[in-house]
Structure 1
């Protein structure tokens, strides 16, 4: 009986081994591939965000941070349009998730007019607006009755006039608090300057017909004008920092927070300083 019992146990052990072996093979009799680990199957899913931007320097700065965001699971798609003025409507219509092209005074001027419910999530850089000329070499050469080009959108027109006031060429009336002004708000013009109000994007190519113009730095860079050639410009204390803007409620999205962190990193600060010099100043 003991001998029969031992034989029976041996048969059970052999059968168990055969079944276990079958369990480790695929239908072709080959060893089955090991299953993916739980950690690998739970890898974070990549999220895509679309950010509208001016071509220079905004889109270039965004391109610089793409690899870093990719490592953090964020696929950044940079969207540029021929008309920067369409980037706020694009955000409103959810064609993009954020935009990065404007400063707060400009945003405030269009929010009230268009009813945008937008919020600012990060201040990135200042582009000091400057006075450029193809005819003059210094501000002391600006003649009496000079023809000066200035942007015709409200916030940048005010900005240009304030710069001329700081340089002693004009005086604006007191009490302007809305970041909006036109030549009608000038109360003293001792140099009898003539102002040509024009779309900001046209000012670089209008320089041959003017004694000079006050031009936004992004337009100067796009026109391949040396920003160091400005006869005078804003200082780094300008309130016109370029910002990241999103629809209200989206500021808490994790991918937007990662975007802001990347744009205000030490690496971006160095990139801006090395690439743009005096033309673009970090605001963080």
Structure 2
């Protein structure tokens, strides 16, 4: 499995949860240190920072200055973390992270889960996935990661069965049971919403669905469930250097994030498009 294929699919699930800030200068870090505050530099992507603003307020009460460092790509945040430029990052799914650190041989680890940007099944023809008829047409993304994720989702929905050991990126060849003789076709992910009228159901990853005007929580007829083991591969995480995993200030970061209050804020901001994964 080539890393470049992993990049294509997984990063669509994290765009919603990315954040932006320009407060990463050395001057601010020095100022915070002089004020007796501990500093956590958190690498992020994207331009939405409402959620992290709330976490920042919580950490201020712990005498910790959370400084968001924005990156414009999905390679540099992990490299900057490994090189010590930042203390943690929050922008990626666990499966993307695992493949990245394996490929780059980095000593990084997950501190804990944040959110899930769920993949869903959508339809213009049926209201319940159980109503899918024999020989139904199904469209799924054609990039390796989203294709595999879509097949796992169809398996979780009880429509197909995959070969044992097919991992997180199964292909159509790994289908060992298809009782309804579904006709599954692969399309470029961004084309699926435009062709949804031509199929009975369409599996659409979160970012594409939201861009197309769908609410994953309201409009999908089947949605990834955070309670299913297979979905944990797509949980987003906070990553840190392995040697820092027991750092008290970083423990306070994950503790400030993983609260009932944060769950409510996630619901208020994303309206079901992104779900708490803790």
CA distance in 2 between partners of 1:246 and 1:264 (Å) = 16
CA distance in 2 between partners of 1:94 and 1:223 (Å) = 38
Q: What TM-score do you get using the length of structure 1 for normalisation?
A: 0.67
Which of the numbers 151, 155, 159 marks the counterpart of 1:161?
Answer: 151
Check conservation: 1:151, 1:214, Cα contact below 8 A.
Answer: no
Q: What TM-score do you get using the length of structure 2 for normalisation?
A: 0.69
User: What count of residue pairs does the alignment treat as equivalent?
Assistant: 234
Q: Partner of 2:238: helix, strand, or coil?
A: strand
Which of the numbers 242, 253, 256 marks the counterpart of 1:248?
Answer: 242
Structure 1 residue 148 corresponds to structure 2 residue 130: no
Ranges in structure 1 where 5+ consecutive residues have no aligned partner: 1-40
Query: How much does 1:74 deviate?
Result: 1.1
Ranges in structure 2 where 5+ consecutive residues have no aligned partner: 1-32
CA distance in 1 between partners of 2:153 and 2:227 (Å) = 12
Check conservation: 2:206, 2:273, Cα contact below 8 A.
Answer: yes
Could you tell me which residue of structure 2 aligns to residue 264 of structure 1? 258
Could you tell me which residue of structure 1 aligns to residue 162 of structure 2? 172
CA distance in 2 between partners of 1:91 and 1:197 (Å) = 35
CA distance in 1 between partners of 2:39 and 2:170 (Å) = 42
CA distance in 1 between partners of 2:208 and 2:76 (Å) = 16
**Bigger radius of gyration:** 1
Following superposition of structure 1 onto structure 2, how do residues 63-78 of structure 1 map, counting pairs within 5 Å?
A: 63-71=53-61, 72-78=63-69
Could you tell me which residue of structure 2 aligns to residue 233 of structure 1? 223
Q: Partner of 2:236: helix, strand, or coil?
A: strand
Could you tell me which residue of structure 2 aligns to residue 128 of structure 1? 118
Q: Deviations over 1:146-203 (max 9, x none)?
A: 251226243x433321111222332211233x323122211233434233164xxxx3
Q: Specify whether residues 237 and 110 from structure 1 end up closer, same or farther in structure 2 by C-alpha distance, changes over 3 A only.
A: same
Check conservation: 1:47, 1:73, Cα contact below 8 A.
Answer: yes
